[in-house]
Structure 1
């Protein structure tokens, strides 16, 4: 499993990419899409919605199951990847480039509580045993 080291991770399998402008980009991890299987539908949060850390904000649905996506940090939704609604399979092709939404963080210290690549890899390995 390839886990990019430039990202942060949540225990609920979202990835977070801090951007140069202070915003963050959020998606689901490769491990999450592997567990779900072939993606058939993605429900994205509304632009302008204010999210609290760990709040349900999106849904990723596959042929096997639907999974809630949680906001890894608190903030306001400033963009969504609307083409994913028509092509949810992009998540299966490359989960780390098929972002779901972008946030303007309201509490950047929450980023410090997220996992780095090594800790996330360990989390996944422990789940598999």
Structure 2
């Protein structure tokens, strides 16, 4: 099965979950019912702009219409928001701190420092 065919099925499923007809979705997305039908039937391939139009019209994430895509968690979104607001040099620092936190702790050679070892954040 091709990617555009699977996206077609995801689009139809999301439209039906929203309780919309193809005409209603077309109105919301600024296109005709016939164009919506061509996307849902797999006759027309999706472009990024189409995915964005449909996701806005369906009030869903663009990833919901892309097979195999994963939606970010609230925590992941928060990190991306913070990161994107930093100037480039601060982004580099942010990445270095994140990488240091994700590294496995050094092996304990018999002595305990009393510190809690860092663990990879998921």
Q: TM-score range by the shorter chain?
A: under 0.3
Q: What TM-score comes out, normalization by structure 2 length?
A: 0.26
Which structure features the higher share of strand residues? 1
Q: What TM-score comes out, normalization by structure 1 length?
A: 0.25
Larger Rg: 2
